[in-house]
Structure 1
Amino acid sequence: MPDTEPTAETSNKTSFEDDDDDDAEISSEEEDEIKRELAEVTFEELQKARSDGSDMVYRKQNVEKKNSRANKNRPMEISSKKPVSRFREVIQVPKNVSRDPRFESLCGKLDVDGFKKRYNFIYENTLPSEKKELKKLMRNAKNPEVVDELKDKMAKIDKEVKSALPKRTEKDILSEHKKKEREAAKRGKQPFYLKKSELRKQKLIEKYNELKESGKLEAFMEKRRRKNASKEHRYLPYRRPA
């Protein structure tokens, strides 16, 4: 009899110890769940729960699942909570696609010579006539701001005309050279292609002839001399102070 009692006690002890282990495991799982729930709860909801004095925790709503069909023949289910946008495309309208004629093969190729011949009147007639009108307006104008605006417009016109003149002279020189070489090739001579240095010389000759005819050669040469003298003056050594 005394031998059997302690065995019963030991069995009871072991059963109690197992129950304690199960309680410990359950409590740890509950703590993990509480932590997860608290991580998803917002700060405002926690403040409300504390002000009420209740220990309730509001669970965050489950994230809405992506729209999916149970069967491809069924219509798609969409939640009614999402508001419909005001602007929605009911009828598909064809969009206007902008095209750049410079890079479109449908518009054809650009003929530079033809373009310059057609619009040469802008530099020869239109812009000079606009300049004359601006001069007349400037004579009659008394407001200094208006005079400054007219001067700026005249300077722009002069700039456009000057920028167009060298390009035309270069094109004319090349076209004349090509004509001569074609005629020489018909006679049986080998064609000679104009170099950049030769082209520069021809342009300087053309400019010299234009200045001589207009009577501005002396002023141009004097301006060029002063410019060269100022360049040379930079490299002269300075005198030391006594």
Structure 2
Amino acid sequence: MLNLSSLSFEELLQLRNRVGTKAYQQMTCGKKAPYHTKVKTKQRQSKQGPLEFSAKNPVPFLRQVVSAKKKVHRDPRFDDLSGEYSPEVFEKTYSFLNSIKEREKEMVQKQLKKSRNAEQQENLQQLLKRMTQQEVAQKDWQRRREKELALKKQQREQAQQGRKPFYLKKSEKRKLELAEKYAELKRSGKLESFLSKKRKRNAIKDKRRLPFRKDI
């Protein structure tokens, strides 16, 4: 074996550079240089399962960490990916819901006729009343929507003809809606009942506004 004790530090570096690190360690230590064994990993049992490492091999200092994809929750009401809201497109796309609601209403009416339980009858009556109110509200909304579209169409036609289009204020629209509502109630024969209820509500409001006086 080469006597390295007589060599200087600079000569040792030159020797290591000339013969290589592995041969230099064999010359100095008389044994093979240690080498890092590759950590064996078992195959996953499933794609979602964790990796299995052998306990016989040391854990590497730097491990490869696989970052999991974070789920991003989005609200379609406020997301641009859902597009812009259009009442006409929405009504046309979900028009099939009207027939489903009609069938559900008929089923509730049949159950109400067959039921003999007082509590069940009360629940069914409340459900039927709620469904009827929703149906009336939907029809009112459609009627108002049709009038707004007709008004916009009229405004566009006037603009195309070179005339200045007219725009109704909210108060004027409200007056027209009330007039149409009264006309509809008069046609259906429910105007007197509606006015009677309104007078009672106004009387209760006026009574609440009166100052309270104690008997002397």
TM-score in same-fold range (> 0.5): yes
The residue that corresponds to 2:144 in the other structure is 170
More helix by share: 1
Count of aligned residue pairs for this structure pair: 157
The Cα offsets for residues 96-116 of structure 1, whole Å up to 9 and x where unpaired, read as 544333333333322222212
Q: Point out where structure 2 has 5 or more consecutive residues left out of the alignment.
A: 1-59
The Cα offsets for residues 149-187 of structure 1, whole Å up to 9 and x where unpaired, read as 212321331332243334333322221211111111122
Matches within 5 A, 1:62-73: none
The residue that corresponds to 2:118 in the other structure is 144
Which amino acid in structure 1 is aligned with residue 194 of structure 2? F
- Distance 1:205-1:129 versus aligned 2 partners, 3 A rule: farther
Q: Quick one: which of 88, 96, 109 aligns to 2:84? A: 109
Equivalent residue of 1:102, what SS? coil
The Cα offsets for residues 38-69 of structure 1, whole Å up to 9 and x where unpaired, read as xxxxxxxxxxxxxxxxxxxxxxxxxxxxxxxx
Structure 2 CA distance, aligned partners of 1:120 and 1:212? 30
Q: Quick one: which of 157, 172, 178 aligns to 1:183? A: 157
> Are 2:206 and 1:221 aligned?
no
Q: Point out where structure 1 has 5 or more consecutive residues left out of the alignment.
A: 1-74, 78-88
- Distance 1:119-1:213 versus aligned 2 partners, 3 A rule: farther
Which amino acid in structure 1 is aligned with residue 79 of structure 2? E
Q: Higher relative contact order by CA 8 Å / sep ≥ 6: 1 or 2? A: 1
Structure 1 CA distance, aligned partners of 2:150 and 2:88? 13
- Distance 1:90-1:147 versus aligned 2 partners, 3 A rule: farther
Equivalent residue of 1:161, what SS? helix
Equivalent residue of 1:228, what SS? helix
Structure 1 CA distance, aligned partners of 2:211 and 2:70? 71
Shift of 1:92: 5.6
Matches within 5 A, 1:1-242: 75-76=60-61, 94-120=69-95, 122-123=97-98, 125-236=99-210, 241=215
Structure 2 CA distance, aligned partners of 1:92 and 1:239? 75
Q: Percent identity?
A: 38
- Distance 1:76-1:208 versus aligned 2 partners, 3 A rule: same
8 Å contact kept, 1:169–1:203: no
Shift of 1:230: 2.4
Task: Name the larger-Rg structure.
Answer: 1
Write out the 4+ residue segments of structure 1 that deviate beyond 4 Å after TM superposition. 89-96, 235-242
Note the aligned Cα RMSD (angstroms): 3.2
- Distance 1:157-1:212 versus aligned 2 partners, 3 A rule: same
Which amino acid in structure 1 is aligned with residue 77 of structure 2? R
- Distance 1:117-1:181 versus aligned 2 partners, 3 A rule: same
